[in-house]
Amino acid sequence: MSKPVVGVFALQGNVREHLAMLAQVGVEGRAVRRPSELAEVDGLVLPGGESTTMDKLARAFDLFEPLQKRIADGMPTFGTCAGMIMLANEINGGIEGQETLGGLDVTVRRNAFGRQVDSFEADLDFAALDTPYHAVFIRAPWVERVGLDVETLATVTEGPAAGRIVAVRQDRLLATSFHPEMTGDARLHGLFAEIVRGQ
């Protein structure tokens, strides 16, 4: 593959930050707002933002079904925070009628860490990384169930949420509860770029 093209779902959420990180890891990032743009990408980032709004806008812009189809057909996809919720097969704590794109065999709990700890930061150990990854969580989900084909990449190690799963991979699908685009550490985007290159 020549330089891979990675889209960022751009109807809602942290789009610019992801595009900047993708540039750092040597892939071409492109905002995706319509089906014709989705058709041209080799992989996709579903950013953080608000999953209930993403769900509604994806439908309003006729992207919901094309997205579901490409994910089901094996398009590498990286869901972060609200994007993790969008990728999950099941959600707990969703609003009435909220649906997800699905593909990732997990159950996530929306706004899982509670109101008191709306946002927090934590250092996470990833087997694939030499040093801990500093993660920023904002009204984040956690993963309550992982399917047999899902690999847990990181859990919270300290505090009341210790042991909670916050990063997972299932083949070409990668998902984090936190915002990897906010700290300047491009290693997880690097891992995703490898998945895209390897397909």
Catalytic residue positions? 81, 179, 181
Residue 179 Cβ vs ligand GLN, minimum distance, rounded to whole Å:
6
Residue 8 tokens, joined: 């960022």
CB 161 within 8 A of CB 114: no
Residue 13 Cβ vs ligand GLN, minimum distance, rounded to whole Å:
7
Per CB under 6 A, the segment of 69-77, 79-87, 148-156, 185-193 that binds ligand GLN is: 79-87
Considering the rule CB under 6 A, would residue 110 count as an interface residue with ligand GLN? yes
With CB under 6 A as the contact rule, the residue among 12, 51, 100, 176 that binds ligand GLN is 51
Considering the rule CB under 6 A, would residue 79 count as an interface residue with ligand GLN? no
Kindly write down the DSSP assignment for every residue of 10-60, as one continuous string. Answer: -SSS-HHHHHHHHHHTT-EEEEE-SHHHHTT-SEEEE-SS-HHHHHHHHHH
Per CB under 6 A, the segment of 3-11, 46-54, 58-66, 67-75 that binds ligand GLN is: 46-54
Considering the rule CB under 6 A, would residue 8 count as an interface residue with ligand GLN? no
**Closest residue by Cα to residue 78 from 177, 4, 176:** 176
Considering the rule CB under 6 A, would residue 50 count as an interface residue with ligand GLN? yes
Kindly report the CA angle at 59 between 56 and 60, in degrees rounded to 5?
Answer: 85
Considering the rule CB under 6 A, would residue 82 count as an interface residue with ligand GLN? yes
Q: CA 92 to CA 142: how far, in whole Å?
A: 10
Q: CA 78 to CA 113: how far, in whole Å?
A: 21
Considering the rule CB under 6 A, would residue 109 count as an interface residue with ligand GLN? no
Considering the rule CB under 6 A, would residue 92 count as an interface residue with ligand GLN? no
Considering the rule CB under 6 A, would residue 49 count as an interface residue with ligand GLN? yes
Residues facing residue 155 across a β-bridge: 165
With CB under 6 A as the contact rule, the residue among 46, 58, 85, 108 that binds ligand GLN is 85
In Å, the largest CA–CA distance within the chain is 47
Residues near ligand GLN (CB under 6 A) are 48-51, 81-82, 85, 110-111, 138-139
